[in-house]
Amino acid sequence: MSQPPKAPSLLELYPEETREAADLLKQAVPQMVRHDIPPNPVHYALWYSYCQGNAPELNRRLDKIVKDFTSFPPETAVKLFREFVIRGELEEARAGQQQVITLVDDIEVDVQRSVSGSQHYQSSLSQGLAALQEPIVDDLPGVLSDLQLSTQHMQEQQEKFLYRLRSAQSEIQNLRSQLERAQAAATLDSLTHVFNRHAFTRLLEQALAGDTKGLALVMLDIDHFKQFNDQYGHPLGDRVLQHVGQLMRELLPARGVAARYGGEEFCVILQDCFDLETAGEFAEQLRLKIQALRVKVRSTDKILDSITASFGLALAETGDTFESLVTRADDALYQAKRNGRNQIHPSTPEPALTA
């Protein structure tokens, strides 16, 4: 059986020779200066990759960020660095963590079996000693006494070992909890508690690798969010994002996956959704819930009731890739915005070419 192609290592992502690398840096630095992006290794790697042009999705994300924000958000830079630069290393680390957990679990089972066998041995030995009450040979009482002392010593050692085992089991549980928290931090958006961009990419790619029948993608974008942040401040904007994340989790159907795509943009992967009407019903529920949000400005006690979102829908088709499906849903989303916002727009199939 052939092995799946191995993802390129971090260094293999940058195979350029010195002259090519210098040319890319000459392109990257003016981009950073133009957008007032601080010089640091993370930003250099992102804009070097941008000028390299091997990750169209990264370029689209960077273009959108510099268009929508007056300054480059540090948290976003770190997320993009993880998603597009060190993604393979993070996946290998998570795989290694899971292997450690599995190995520790296996060792724990084996040790428990060993302890059980030792306990059985003690029981059998005690029964044998009880049966040998009458001396058969002159030195048998001494032999039995030695056996008793040896058994007692082994029992004491085993009790100590069992104590250590229980302590180790407690440490194993603590380790598992720490790793689970680390995994959650790596896959969940810390603000909205839906999946983050990296997890969404992985889950959608997995879904597209199988039978795409019944797979739909919903993309939504909070309307006028930049102006909202400029007027009321980022803390209130964060509260809006948190409310939207909570609504998505509450309305999410079975086998659905909600994720924050970036900034004020979210995605929902729907399974068992065989037509745009079904996807539209879910989107309409969510649209009305967002429209009904009432957020209070604490400094003035003003209640805001102008929060809306625009939606784009797309059904997966045979042969779809991550990029093609996201592009169709994203195009539909921006058509909804061009049509006036606070509405849902389905992706329409490309017309067939005729001779």
- 157-202 pLDDT, tens digit per residue, is 667 767 766 776 777 777 777 777 777 777 889 899 999 998 999 9
Query: Which of the two residues, 346 and 59, has the higher pLDDT score?
Result: 346
Report angle CA 91, 106, 187 to the nearest 5 degrees: 25
Report the helix count and the strand count for the chain, using DSSP H and E.
Answer: 11, 7
Mean pLDDT across the stretch 339-346?
97
d(CA 15, CA 19): 12
Find residue 98's DSSP bridge partners: none
Rounded to the nearest angstrom, the gap between the alpha carbon of residue 66 and the centroid of all alpha carbons in its chain is: 25
Per-residue model confidence (pLDDT) at position 261: 93
CA-nearest of 83, 339, 320, 351 to 216 is 320
CATH architecture of 197-346: 2-Layer Sandwich (3.30)
Mean pLDDT across the stretch 70-75?
81
Query: Which of the two residues, 303 and 126, has the higher pLDDT score?
Result: 303
d(CA 235, CA 49): 31
Query: Which of the two residues, 18 and 324, has the higher pLDDT score?
Result: 324
Per-residue model confidence (pLDDT) at position 190: 86
- What percent of the chain clears pLDDT 70, i.e. is strictly above it? 72
* Lowest mean pLDDT across 121-125, 152-156, 198-202, 252-256: 121-125
Buried b (16+ CB within 10 A) or exposed e, 110-123: ebeeeeeebeeeee
Per-residue model confidence (pLDDT) at position 219: 97
Categorize the per-residue pLDDT at 1 as very low, low, confident or very high, splitting at 50, 70 and 90: very low
Three-state DSSP class for 216? strand
Checking phi first, is residue 263 left (phi over 0); if not, alpha (psi -120 to 50) or beta? left
Mean pLDDT across the stretch 40-65?
87
d(CA 284, CA 208): 25
Q: Average model confidence (pLDDT) for the chain?
A: 81
Per-residue model confidence (pLDDT) at position 250: 95
According to DSSP, the β-strands at 216-222 and 309-315 are antiparallel
Per-residue model confidence (pLDDT) at position 164: 66
CA-nearest of 135, 132, 127 to 151 is 127
> E strands within 223-297?
257-262, 265-270, 295-297
Amino acid at 29: V
d(CA 163, CA 155): 12
d(CA 50, CA 31): 10
Active site members? 264
Mean pLDDT across the stretch 237-255?
94
Q: Are 303 and 236 in contact (CB under 8 A)?
A: no
- CB count within 10 Å of CB 148 equals 13
Find residue 222's DSSP bridge partners: 309
